[in-house]
Amino acid sequence: MSAQAMTGPTAGRAGDVNVVRLVGRVSATPEEVVLPSGDVLCSFRVVVGRPEGHQSRQRVDALECTAWLPRVRRSAMGWQPGDVVEVEGAIRRRFFRAGGSAASRVEVEVSSGRLVRRAGSA
């Protein structure tokens, strides 16, 4: 997928790339979320192992993902904890109001995703 397809023809500077590809396990049942604006998204977390020999003691990263596109939401809502999935998208920082104050969250905005292997399958 081209960087232009991910970010649009006028986004960022020439040469900027914001493309993410993750292959990992779904950590919990994906949830459909209806925002106050009425927009609907699917939220889930993908756990990805770090390479051996990494200097940190942390062995995995748990990455928040959101799917806004109806086709991708439908696919993700069928995933189960432990399923291995592959997702592609872009890193986004989303701003919102929570408890009367401004907050933000960094997440992967998923543009495509697929089930690689069901939990418990060889």
41 belongs to a structural domain: yes
- Residues in the chain with pLDDT values less than 70: 1-12, 122
Number of domains composing the chain: 1
40 belongs to a structural domain: yes
Q: Give pLDDT tens digits for 21-45.
A: 999 999 999 999 998 889 999 999 9
| Nearest-angstrom CA–CA distance, 36 and 88 | 26
Structural domain that includes position 82: 20-117
Q: In the prediction, which pLDDT does 14 show?
A: 82
CA 109-114-120 angle, to 5 degrees, is 120
113 belongs to a structural domain: yes
| Nearest-angstrom CA–CA distance, 36 and 48 | 31
**CATH number of the domain residue 86 falls in:** 2.40.50.140
Q: In the prediction, which pLDDT does 33 show?
A: 94
Structure-block tokens of residue 47:
């756990």
Which ranges of the chain would DSSP assign to H, the alpha helix? 3-7, 70-77
10 belongs to a structural domain: no
56 belongs to a structural domain: yes
Structure-block tokens of residue 46:
């993908």
4 belongs to a structural domain: no
